[in-house]
Amino acid sequence: MNVTIFGATGRTGRHLVEQALAAGHQVTAFARSPSKLDDLKAQNLQIVQGTIEQPERVEEAVREADVVVSALGPTENKPTFTVTKGTQYILDAMKKHGVQRIIVSAGMGVPDPHDEPKFINHAINVILNLVSRHVVADMSQVVDTVRSSDVEWVVVRVPMLTDDPATGEIKVGYVGKGVGGRLSRADMAHFMLEQIDDPQYLQKAPAISN
C-alpha cells in the first residue's frame, strides 16, 4: 500500500516511517529536512521535501497515496494555526487525487462526545489550556476540520508520550473510560498504522494508552 506520512521526522513520525517500511508499504515521507532520514536506505521510501504551508508540495506527497497518516503537531504555542491550515491542504489534495482515508493524531485534551472525563482529566485540561492554549486550539481545529471532511478518517488521541520501547499492549477507549496516562511513541505508531486498512474505528476518535 502507498502510505504518505506527514510529520515523518518527528519523534513519533520516525517510528511511523520505520514500521511502515518494515511492513512492506511504499512510503512517502514528507519532511522539512530530508537529511534527518538519510540513514534509512530503503527502495520503498520516497521523500518529498517541503513544509505544510506549501500546498503544492503537500499535493506532491499525496498524489500517489492510498492512505495518509499525519503525526503533525504545533511546534510553538502561537495562534498561527499552522497545523490546521496544513491539514486542510492535505484534505484538499486528497480530494483532488481521490485518496479516501486519513489517520491523524491529537492529544487527549481534544474532546470527544464519548468521553467521560474524571476530575484528574479536567485538571490536566485546565493546565494545558493555561500553558499551551494555542497548541490545544490548533489541534482542536485540526480534529474539527477532519471530522467535517467527506473522507474516511480516524483520529487517534494520545496521553503523555514516552520514548519507551514498544510493549504491544495498547488500551483503547475514551477519556475517563479504560485508558491510562502514558503511551510509548512506538506503540502509538503501531496503532496508527493498523488503521490504514481496518474499518473498526472509522469516523471515530478513540483514546489509547499503554
In order along its 210 residues, the chain shows pLDDT tens digits of 999 999 999 999 999 999 999 999 999 999 999 999 999 988 999 999 999 999 999 999 999 999 999 999 998 888 899 999 999 999 999 999 999 999 999 999 999 999 998 888 878 777 777 677 889 899 999 999 999 999 999 999 999 999 999 999 999 999 999 999 999 999 999 999 999 999 999 999 999 999
Q: Which CATH superfamily is domain 2-209 in?
A: NAD(P)-binding Rossmann-like Domain (3.40.50.720)
What percentage of the chain has pLDDT greater than the value 70? 99
Name beta bridge partners: 183.
Answer: 161
CB 10 within 8 A of CB 73: yes
Q: Tens of pLDDT along 102-130?
A: 999 999 999 999 999 888 887 877 777 76
CB 114 within 8 A of CB 84: no
Tell me the whole-structure pTM to 2 decimals. Answer: 0.95
CB 84 within 8 A of CB 138: yes
β-strands 160-162, 171-173 pairing:
unpaired
CB 175 within 8 A of CB 121: yes
Round to the nearest angstrom and report the end-to-end CA distance of the chain: 27
Q: Which residues contact 100 (CB under 8 A, 6 or more apart)?
A: 67, 94, 151, 152
What is the DSSP-derived secondary structure letter of residue 64?
T
